[in-house]
Amino acid sequence: MTDFLKAYNTGQQELKKLEIIQKEIDALFKDLNNQLKVPTGGRIVIDRQLLQAKDDSLFHSFTESVFPDSVKFYFAIVASNPNSKIHKDKELAKWDQQQGGYPCTISYGSTAITCHDLESLAAALARLLEDPQIAKIIAEVKSEI
């Protein structure tokens, strides 16, 4: 007889593991923002956000108005300035976490880094902040009034 109870328990344990991973990733972003808070005067927050895919084609505008379900979304790492009146999220990188845990992929410029654990994710986020193009976007967001 198939042991469904065992399968159920395995599933629940896996779910708990995913919840722990999600919490540690959330804590990593919290730590990043805490470190930036004082030096940026609280003008920069970096987090994951669901964005709408850009497609400026006339056809897409038409289909979007007729079939709203055709609108596509994706997750991105964004920078925002909570003190700004604009308060608009600016995309820094694409964020892909298909399995709900690891691996997760950060994609920006001509690079995509797939991270398999917290340590590599922390390093990849640091690498992202070091990129001059990303630094430029963050500086623009920080200077928003």
Partner 1 sequence: MDMLEIKPIVLIWWNTSLSPPTKPRASEDKRNFIKHAVKEFFNKKGVDILALGEVSSLDLEEIKDYINDSSIILHDATGQDKYLKFNIGVLFKKTRLRILYHKSFLDSYGKITLKLCEYIKIYSRDSESVINIYVSHWPSRLHCPENSPKRIEIGTALRQKLDVIRKSSSDPQFIILMGDYNDDPYSISLAEHLLATRDRELAQKNDSFLYNPFWRYLGESEPFLHGKTEQGICGTYYYASGQPSRWYTFDQIMFSSAFLKEGPLTLDERYCQILRNDYLESAIKSSESIFDHLPVMGAINIRRIT
Q: Which residues bind partner 1 (CB under 8 A)?
A: 107, 110-117, 119-121, 123-124, 127, 130
Kindly state the smallest distance separating residue 26's Cβ from partner 1, in Å.
20
Which two structure tokens, joined as six digits, stand for 140?
Answer: 């623009």
Nearer to partner 1, 125 or 138 (CB): 125
Kindly state the smallest distance separating residue 47's Cβ from partner 1, in Å.
21
CA 106 to chain centre: 8
Please state, in angstroms and rounded to a whole number, the distance separating the CA atoms of residues 21 and 5: 24
Nearer to partner 1, 21 or 115 (CB): 115
Nearer to partner 1, 42 or 109 (CB): 109
Nearer to partner 1, 79 or 113 (CB): 113
Helix axes 118-130, 132-142, angle to 10 degrees: 80
Kindly state the smallest distance separating residue 82's Cβ from partner 1, in Å.
30
Amino acid, res. 27: A
Kindly state the smallest distance separating residue 12's Cβ from partner 1, in Å.
26
Helix axes 4-37, 118-130, angle to 10 degrees: 30
Residue 76: exposure state from Cβ atoms within 10 A (0-12, 13-18, ≥19): buried
Nearer to partner 1, 93 or 141 (CB): 93
Kindly state the smallest distance separating residue 64's Cβ from partner 1, in Å.
21
111-115 and 73-80 beta bridge pairing = unpaired
